[in-house]
Structure 1
Amino acid sequence: MPEQLSVPHPPVGGERPAPADRHPDDPPGDGSPQPDGVDRGTLRLALTVGGLVLAVLLGFGLGRASPGPDARTGATPAGATAAGSTSGGEHSHAPGTGAHQHGSAVAGQPDPAAADGLSVSASGYTLAPVSADLTAGRAGEFRFQIRDERRRPVTRFAIVHDKPLHLIVVRRDLTGYQHLHPAMAPDGTWSVPLTLAEPGVWRAYADFTAVADDGRQTPATLGVDLAAPGDYRPRPLPAPTTTTTVDGFTVGYRGVPEVGTAVPLAFTVRTGDTPAALERYLGAYGHLVALREGDLGYLHVHPEPAPAGDAVTFWLTASGPGRYRLYFDFQVAGVVRTAEFTVTVS
Structure 2
Amino acid sequence: MSRLRSSSPYLVIGAVFLATVAYVLTVLPGRSAPPAESPSPSPFVHSDGLSDSFDGYLMRPVALPTVRGKDIPVSFHILGPDGLPLKDYETVQERPMHLFVVRDDLSGYQHLHPTLTDGLWSTPLTVQDGGSYRLYAEFTPKGRGTLGHPTVLGVSFLIPGDTKLAPLPGPAPTSVAGKYTVTRLDGIAHLNVGRGTLLKFQVADAVLEPYLGALAHMSAFEVRTQALTHLHPAANELTFHTLFVNRGEYRLFMDFKVAGEVHRAAFTVFVT
The TM-score normalised by the length of structure 1 is 0.62
Seen in structure 2, the aligned counterparts of structure 1 residues 305 and 113 have a Cα distance that, compared at 3 Å, is farther
Cα offset, 1:113, TM superposition: 7.7
User: Which residue, 194, 199, 224 being the options, matches 2:155?
Assistant: 224
Query: Percent identity at matched positions?
Result: 40
Give the total of aligned pairs. Answer: 227
Residue in structure 1 matching 2:214, options 262, 270, 284:
284
Q: How does 1:1-346 map to 2 (within 5 A)?
A: 111=43, 116-186=48-118, 188-211=119-142, 215-216=143-144, 219-255=150-186, 256=189, 257-271=191-205, 276-307=206-237, 312-346=238-272
8 Å Cα contact 1:302-1:314 kept in structure 2:
yes
Q: Work out whether residues 257 and 263 of structure 2, in 8 Å CA contact, stay in contact via their aligned partners in 1.
A: yes
The answer to whether the 8 Å contact 2:69/2:128 transfers is: yes
SS state of the match for residue 230, structure 2?
A: strand
- In our comparison, the structure showing a higher alpha carbon Rg is 1
* Runs (4+) off by over 4 Å: 111-115, 215-218
Conserved? CA contact 1:136–1:230, under 8 Å: no
Do 2:47 and 2:151's aligned partners in 1 also have CA atoms closer than 8 Å? no
Q: Is the CA contact 1:112–1:317 (under 8 Å) kept in the aligned structure 2?
A: no
Call closer, same or farther: CA 1:216–1:162 in 2, change over 3 Å.
closer
Native 8 Å contact 1:131 1:144 kept in 2:
yes
**Which consecutive residues of structure 1, in runs of 5 or more, have no partner in the other structure?**
1-105
Structure 1's 268 and 145: CA in aligned 2 closer, same or farther, altered over 3 A?
Answer: same
TM-score by length of structure 2 reads 0.78
Structure 1 residues 115 and 270, CA, compared in 2 at 3 Å: closer, same or farther? farther
Superimposed CA distance per residue, residues 272-327 of structure 1 (whole angstroms, 9 cap, x where no aligned partner) = xxxx10010010001111101121011111221112xxxx1112111211111010
Q: Which residue identity does 2:198 align to in structure 1?
A: P
Counterpart residue type for residue 78 of structure 2: I
1:134/1:196 contact within 8 Å kept:
no
Q: Distance in 2 between matches of 1:115 and 1:222?
A: 7
**How far apart in 2 are the matches of 1:129 and 1:114?**
22
Higher mean C-alpha deviation, range 129-138 or range 158-167 = 129-138
2-side partners of 1:341 and 1:258: how far apart? 17
Cα-to-partner distance string for 1:87-139 (whole Å, 9 max, x where unaligned) = xxxxxxxxxxxxxxxxxxx97x9x45856112110011011001114321333
RMSD between aligned residues: 2.0
